[in-house]
């Protein structure tokens, strides 16, 4: 059960890996994305993105600015203008 | 015929010029590799964003209430030409090709009765464009303070242009830059950036699954439009950087080769003069000996 997660900035591809869950800070509330999530597009707040590599592991926080998330059959893609961490 | 000392001086001066052009050629080759890598790294983001924009644009109908960046101002009187040049020379016809393309477009628009404004990025295009259109300067962006133009610069340029657009200073913006085809070929390119042209090749999602939008399509589109503009500018800056290094490499390679030819020619001339001087001396000695 893995979700393919990609984090892309204009300068480079920051992450491209399989993770368990990602918590995404949408403008209308945070939501978690697991494998098999329904297709969605959401604008993001300037807030940390939480990534769980495996179930029960400590989440890793990545600060995103100017973000946009797209969930499709291929996984979760986050486009961000700036990324920290 | 020039005397020996003069010839020697000229050979030495051409040799030092050759050293400079050779060094610049090698620097350009190294920088070209880096610029190409940067352009490559920017591709996933641009590709993803274009895909998202295309799928959104397919769902939203352009109307009066659409964001101005997409729908336009409803006029096409004032055109802004954004011209991206480099800060350094020694790149052959790289800068003048871009400037020429921009001036040709300006003349064409002017002939059609439109108003033309220029926004200049980079140092090298300023002088010729200011000379040709002294009244049409809308602003410029100085990239000399940074080593390499990056996304931060693209962002500032885009913000400034959008602010001018929202203040109603122009109706349509075109972007001029040089597209990188290969180290030998760079193509001056013009591209409309405002109003944002709907991305072509809209990929229709084959799965047909309903996509949740949060917030709704129109709001997302409005949020993404300035970002799309920034990405396009960033892409143009990267292409320009790669093109500049490519053009510089080719120009410097030619210059180095020319210098080599010149050195050969001068060396032959130098040897001939030296030979002639020796022969004259010998004739004088022999003539002197015979006279005794």
Domain boundaries, chain B: 4-21+252-291, 31-250
Model pLDDT for residues B20-29, shown as the tens digit of each residue? 999 999 999 9
Q: Lowest mean pLDDT: which of A1-5, B30-34, B110-114, B200-204? A: B200-204
> Which pLDDT belongs to residue B206?
47
Residues recorded for chain A: 85
Least confident range of A43-57, A71-85, B193-207: B193-207
Reported pTM: 0.83
Question: In the predicted model, what is the mean pLDDT of chain B?
Answer: 86
- CB pair distance less than 8 Å for A39 and B44: no
Number of Cβ pairs < 8 A linking chain A and chain B: 78
Task: Give the closest-approach CA distance of A52 to chain B in angstroms.
Answer: 23
The mean of the pLDDT values for chain A is: 88
Length of chain B: 292
CATH of B31-250, one of 3.40.50.11810, 3.30.930.10, 3.20.20.140, 3.40.1380.10: 3.40.1380.10
Chain A residues whose CB is inside 8 A of the B52 CB are: 41, 68, 70, 79
How far is CA B89 from each of CA B94, B181, B247, rounded to the nearest angstrom?
A: 9, 20, 10
Count of structural domains within chain A: 1
pLDDT at B272: 94
Cross-chain Cβ contact A81/B234 below 8 Å: no
* Closest B-chain CA to A71: B211
ipTM of this complex: 0.80
Q: Is A74 on the interface with B (CB under 8 A)?
A: no
| Mean pLDDT, rounded, for B96-113 | 92
Task: CATH number of the domain at A10, please.
Answer: 2.60.15.10
Q: Is some CB atom of chain A closer than 8 A to the CB atom of B152?
A: no
Q: A8-35: per-residue pLDDT in tens?
A: 988 888 889 999 999 999 888 888 999 8
Cβ contacts of B122 within 8 Å, gap of 6 or more: B84, B85, B86, B87, B141, B143, B240
Q: Give A43's contacts in chain B (Cβ within 8 Å).
A: 214-215, 219-220, 223-224
Q: Which residue has the higher pLDDT, B270 or B204?
A: B270
Identity of the residue in A26, A38, A79 whose CB atom sits nearest the CB atom of B49: A79
Domain that holds residue A74: 3-84
**pLDDT value of residue B52:** 81
Q: Is the pLDDT of residue B201 over 80?
A: no
């Amino acid at each position: 059960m893995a979700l393919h997660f990609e984090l892309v900035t204009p300068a480079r591809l920051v992450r491209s890996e399989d993770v368990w869950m990602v918590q995404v800070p949408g403008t209308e509330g945070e939501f978690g994305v697991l494998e098999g999530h329904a297709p969605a597009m959401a604008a993001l707040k300037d807030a940390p993105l939480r990534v769980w590599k495996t179930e029960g592991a400590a989440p890793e926080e990545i600060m995103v600015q100017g973000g946009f998330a797209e969930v499709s059959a291929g996984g979760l893609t986050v486009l961000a203008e700036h990324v920290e961490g | 015929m020039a005397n020996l000392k003069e010839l020697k001086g000229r050979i030495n001066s051409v040799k030092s010029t050759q050293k400079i052009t050779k060094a610049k050629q090698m620097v350009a080759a190294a920088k070209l590799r880096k610029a190409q890598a940067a352009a490559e790294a920017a591709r996933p983001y641009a590709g993803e964003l274009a895909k998202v924009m295309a799928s959104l644009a397919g769902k939203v109908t352009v109307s009066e209430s659409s964001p101005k960046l997409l729908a336009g101002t409803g006029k096409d009187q004032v055109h802004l030409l954004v011209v991206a040049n480099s800060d350094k020379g020694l790149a052959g016809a790289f800068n003048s090709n871009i400037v020429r393309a921009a001036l040709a477009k300006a003349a064409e628009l002017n002939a059609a009765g439109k108003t033309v404004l220029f926004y200049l990025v980079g140092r090298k295009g300023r002088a010729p464009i200011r000379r040709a259109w002294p009244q049409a300067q809308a602003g410029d962006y100085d990239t000399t303070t940074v080593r390499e133009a990056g996304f931060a610069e693209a962002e500032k340029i885009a913000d400034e242009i959008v602010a001018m657009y929202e203040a109603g200073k122009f109706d349509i913006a075109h972007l001029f830059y040089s597209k990188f085809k290969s180290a030998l070929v760079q193509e001056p390119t013009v591209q409309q950036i405002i109003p944002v042209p709907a991305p072509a090749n809209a990929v229709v999602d084959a799965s047909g699954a309903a996509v949740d939008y949060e917030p709704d399509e129109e709001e997302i589109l409005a949020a993404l439009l300035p970002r799309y503009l920034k990405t396009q500018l960033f892409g143009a800056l990267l292409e320009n950087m790669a093109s500049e290094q490519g053009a510089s490499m080719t120009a410097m390679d030619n210059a180095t080769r020319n210098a080599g030819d010149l050195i050969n020619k001068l060396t032959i001339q130098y040897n001939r003069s030296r030979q002639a001087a020796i022969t004259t001396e010998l004739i004088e000695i022999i003539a002197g000996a015979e006279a005794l």
